[in-house]
């Protein structure tokens, strides 16, 4: 787990070491254990290292394989690298290190673009071929590892962290209207290739891109599972599905223990993270470190779920760490939270993950986390209403979108509106695509392949890596997800959602954790923007920079300032926090 950056020139010039240095500084928190820079011909590759697998200098990056003429900068972890190494050794490849980075290099040389289909893991990597000048960029199936890029004249720069590209200079920092529409409508989800900055894009997940020396490029989408029933599994019972899910999750959790350092768990006390703890205990894991965070209550809403995380920790005898964050510490942390965001992310639990990661990183370098279970197994409240939908796009928008295109026209100034309803059109095209048997299948596919990538997964990566902490997500094991995509929706929607997963959980964790109201990562002070939080948001939205930018209508902002608690989105988010966070992110990163 690390941070990567670099530049590819298409005009014969050598990349600037000064530009690389600026980007390397920006990604330094992602890799506190070392740094490296290789400039060769038309390419520069930079790397900041967080040592997890093969802690020796032989595994330092960028890694150069002089025999094959390949250089790589890699962020992530390939969990099945020992098996792949054996396959490659059988083909005659010789290794000089013991980790997963060199396996990627040899795999590219042996199998070309097909190599990514063999990888179990999370990854973003860039490979430069010495002799051809060709460059290869790839991102894992769920975009767990980020990869941003910017085209500047005759070059392409890339980085794990969008602000690193901003710091490289010569970037078009104007606001992307399509991204703004998505942010304000699609609950802050901005699908690739867009970002809020016109001059910066992101590589889509499950994509491998080959860039020739002259700049020509070709993308290959290498993974897109069908959300359809498999006729050979038609007679499976609920118990059969339960057992298949439990076996697949066992494998996923076990895979993510591959490390040369201890691995802990972020324990919220919900079903998902509790199952991870239970399965690790079942495997005989001793002295497992677990971590939970809680906040002060606000407006009568509780700010922690310690009663459940404590129950799980006691049941399995973990080395548990309970972290309580008073309001004054939350307020003081927010500038760091904004700085750690690659893109503006409206969810309140960004602050929770940021402060939790700060504490966890004092004890451990790798954790497993429960993100993804709701999107994969149907845990959210908006899935059941879609079961009988006759218009899945319209019905999905009713339950998920923050506002309609028409309402957005009353909130944004006219210059910032798009002519078309770009968010609805994007979502409708995805939902109405082939290979989804039912409206619920279509929604689960959209959420797992789009929403999950640019909301929950992104915020966990950003906030953990701000403190040099690696987070692994077993519910996004691609084989587990392929299995889940075949499960009939009614098996997932049972028991208020995640029925089949809860069936599996009953064999692993205490029933008190399962038979309770679904919880979220509560940060009530940010949901009910008041007191110093209201002052902070108002100051940002009435600042000179905000007035010159002129994104929002003044009458709309005044309504929000007058009564923040009266303007809550369908997904229980604060409209004032949404618009304020965007402006604070733009100002933090000099956009």
Q: Which residues are catalytic?
A: 2
In whole angstroms, what separates CA 527 from the centre of its chain? 22
SS3 175: strand
Nearest to 296 by CA among 575, 17, 531: 531
Residue 408 belongs to what H/E stretch?
A: helix 405-408
Beta strands 207-211 and 263-266 are unpaired
Q: What is the DSSP string of 451-498?
A: ITTTTHHHHHHHHHHTTT-EEE-GGG-HHHHHHHHHS-HHHHHGGGS-
Give the whole-angstrom CA distance, residue 187 versus residue 577: 12
CA pair distance 379, 386, nearest whole angstrom: 13
DSSP state, residue 14 = P
| 387 burial level (CB within 10 Å; 0-12, 13-18, 19+) | middle
Torsions phi, psi for 123 (to 5 deg): -165, 150
Q: Is 537 helix (H, G, I), strand (E, B) or coil?
A: helix
- For strands 207-211 and 121-129, give the pairing: unpaired
Please list, in sequence order, all residues whose beta carbon lies within 8 angstroms of the beta carbon of residue 505, skipping any fewer than 6 positions away: 271, 274, 275, 278, 513, 514
**From CA 223, how far away is CA 478, in angstroms rounded?**
9
C-alpha distances in Å from residue 466, one per residue of 154, 158, 189, 364, 451: 31, 18, 21, 14, 22
For the chain, how many residues are written? 591
What does DSSP assign to residue 385?
G
As a whole number of angstroms, the distance between CA 84 and CA 104 comes to 9
The candidate with the shortest Cα–Cα distance to 466, out of 29, 36, 111, 105, is 29
The two most distant CA atoms of the chain are separated, in Å, by: 70
Which string of DSSP letters, residue by residue, matches 278-338?
HHHHHTT--S-EEEEEEE--BTTB----HHHHHHHHHHHT-EEEEEEE-HHHHHHHHHHHH
Of the candidates 140, 187, 9, the one whose C-alpha atom is nearest the C-alpha of residue 472 is 140
Q: Which three-class secondary structure state does DSSP give residue 57?
A: helix
Give kind and range of the element (H or E) at residue 540. helix 531-541
Answer for the pair 202, 147: CB distance below 8 angstroms, yes or no.
yes
Instruction: Return the axis-axis angle of helices 271-282 and 306-316, rounded to nearest 10°.
Output: 10
Nearest C-alpha neighbor of 513 from the set 247, 282, 310: 310
């Amino acid at each position: 787990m690390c941070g990567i950056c670099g530049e590819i020139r298409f005009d014969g010039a050598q990349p600037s070491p000064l530009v690389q240095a600026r980007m390397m500084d920006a990604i330094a928190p992602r890799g506190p254990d070392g740094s490296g820079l290789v400039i060769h011909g038309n390419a520069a590759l930079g790397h900041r290292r967080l040592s997890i697998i093969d802690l020796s200098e032989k595994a330092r990056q960028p890694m150069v394989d002089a025999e094959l003429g390949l250089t790589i900068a890699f962020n992530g972890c390939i969990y099945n690298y020992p098996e792949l190494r054996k396959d490659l050794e059988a083909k005659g490849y010789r290794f000089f290190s013991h980790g997963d980075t060199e396996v990627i290099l040899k795999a590219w040389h042996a199998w070309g673009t097909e190599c990514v289909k063999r990888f179990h893991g999370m990854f973003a990597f860039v490979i430069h071929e010495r002799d051809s000048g060709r460059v290869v960029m790839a991102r894992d199936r769920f975009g767990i590892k980020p990869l941003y890029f910017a085209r500047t004249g005759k070059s392409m720069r890339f980085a794990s962290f969008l602000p690193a590209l901003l710091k490289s200079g010569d970037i078009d920092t104007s606001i992307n209207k399509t991204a703004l529409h998505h942010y304000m409508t699609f609950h802050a989800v901005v699908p690739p290739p867009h970002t809020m900055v016109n001059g910066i894009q992101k590589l889509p997940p499950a994509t491998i891109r080959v860039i020739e020396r002259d700049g020509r490029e070709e993308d290959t989408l290498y993974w897109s599972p069908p959300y359809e029933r498999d006729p050979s599994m038609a007679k499976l019972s609920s118990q059969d599905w339960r057992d298949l899910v439990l076996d697949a999750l066992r494998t996923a959790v076990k895979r993510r223990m591959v490390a040369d350092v201890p691995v802990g768990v972020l324990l919220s006390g919900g079903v998902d993270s509790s199952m991870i703890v239970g399965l690790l205990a079942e495997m005989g894991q001793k002295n497992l470190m677990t971590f939970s965070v809680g906040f002060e209550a606000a407006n009568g809403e509780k700010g922690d779920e310690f009663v459940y995380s404590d129950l799980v920790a006691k049941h399995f005898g973990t080395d548990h760490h309970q972290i309580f964050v008073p309001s004054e510490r939350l307020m003081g942390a927010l500038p760091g939270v904004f700085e750690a965001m690659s893109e503006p992310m409206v969810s309140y639990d960004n602050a929770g993950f940021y402060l939790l990661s700060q504490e966890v990183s004092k004890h451990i370098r790798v954790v497993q986390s429960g993100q993804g279970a709701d999107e994969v197994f149907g845990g959210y409240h908006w899935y059941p209403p879609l079961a009988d939908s006759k218009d899945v796009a319209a019905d999905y928008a009713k339950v998920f979108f923050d506002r309609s295109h028409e309402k957005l026209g009353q909130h944004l100034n006219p210059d910032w509106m798009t002519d078309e309803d770009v968010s609805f059109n994007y979502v409708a095209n995805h939902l109405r695509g082939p290979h989804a048997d039912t409206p619920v299948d279509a929604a689960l596919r959209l959420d797992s392949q789009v929403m999950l990538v640019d909301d929950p997964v992104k915020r966990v990566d950003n906030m953990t890596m701000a403190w040099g902490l690696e987070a692994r997500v077993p519910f996004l094991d691609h084989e587990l997800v392929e299995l889940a995509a075949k499960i009939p929706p009614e098996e997932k929607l049972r028991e208020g959602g995640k029925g089949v997963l809860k069936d599996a959980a009953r064999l692993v964790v205490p029933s008190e954790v399962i038979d309770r109201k679904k919880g979220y990562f509560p940060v009530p002070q940010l949901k009910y923007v008041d007191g110093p939080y209201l002052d902070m948001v108002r100051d940002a939205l009435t600042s000179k920079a905000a007035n010159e930018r002129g994104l929002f209508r003044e009458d709309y902002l005044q309504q929000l300032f007058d009564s923040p608690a009266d303007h809550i989105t369908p997904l229980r988010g604060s409209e004032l926090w949404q618009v304020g966070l965007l402006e604070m992110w733009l100002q933090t990163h000099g956009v």
